[in-house]
Amino acid sequence: MRIIPAIDIIDGKCVRLSKGDYDTKKIYNENPLEVAKEFEAHGIEYLHLVDLDGAKSKHIVNHKVLEQIASQTGLRIDFGGGLKTDDDLRIAFESGAKQITGGSIAVKDPDTFLGWIEKHGADKIILGADAMDEKVAVSGWLEESKEELIPFIQSYQQKGIQYVICTDISKDGMLEGPSFDLYKKIIAQTDVSLSAVEDQSMLQIKLIASGGISSFDELPKLAEMGCEGTIIGKAIYENRISLKQLETYILSNG
């Protein structure tokens, strides 16, 4: 299972929120590049970089931070937050993103999102399926849509999506443990081998768990369940999980 630390950006600074609430903002570092370099120094290869200003303003904002980290580290960055247009996407990839995450756009403008999958390939485009009470949330989690989470993921699975990041918003930033039951459910209901699938090109979803990770012993449980990756945020910044522990885990599973 891939270990993917998160850096969330507001005003160019590394912050964390609780349950996506911008009023709970806590600044952990003024310099996201410094944080990214420390991750890389501990054997971490991946980074989940979120432009929270972009999510709020509905267009890419912190692409300079992305460019800085991409050009000065070897981290493979997936970037999300406010990507709404082909131009936003172009800027993200030109700034060094290896993958982008689309959440709100997949709900509100599926034609554009599907166009991205077609143009760039399913390995470059991640579906951000963030939910509250199994309903998909959009616009930096400021709105709840009418979309049911699992049918939403299944519909994009049928259209070729491979990577899905799922955050249970009620868990995010709360350090109370991830939504094991929800992830089990998603994996069971998107398991191609268990379904009578006519289209054999449909692939097993690569589910990336996000939100609520609070201790190191949750990681092997998520791996055992079949999560392809896990995003870890506040647990690192609040020293609940050390970078040394993550380094050891990566080496022992490498």
Q: Which residues are catalytic?
A: 8, 130
**Element containing residue 52 per DSSP (H, E):** helix 52-57
C-alpha span between 74 and 231 (Å, rounded): 18
- Give residue for tokens 């991205």: 116
Q: Which two tokens stand for residue 202?
A: 């449909």
Residues contacting 204, CB < 8 A, separation 6+:
190, 191, 192, 193
Question: What is the edge-to-edge ordering of all strands in the sheet holding 131-132?
Answer: 131-132, 135-138, 143-148
Break the chain down into helix, strand, coil percent, rounded to 5. Answer: 40, 30, 35
Q: How far is the CA of 118 from the CAs of 124, 138, 152, 161, 219, in angstroms?
A: 10, 23, 19, 10, 33
Q: Which two tokens stand for residue 239?
A: 């020293």
Q: How far is the CA of 179 from the CAs of 130, 168, 219, in angstroms?
A: 12, 7, 12
C-alpha span between 237 and 66 (Å, rounded): 20
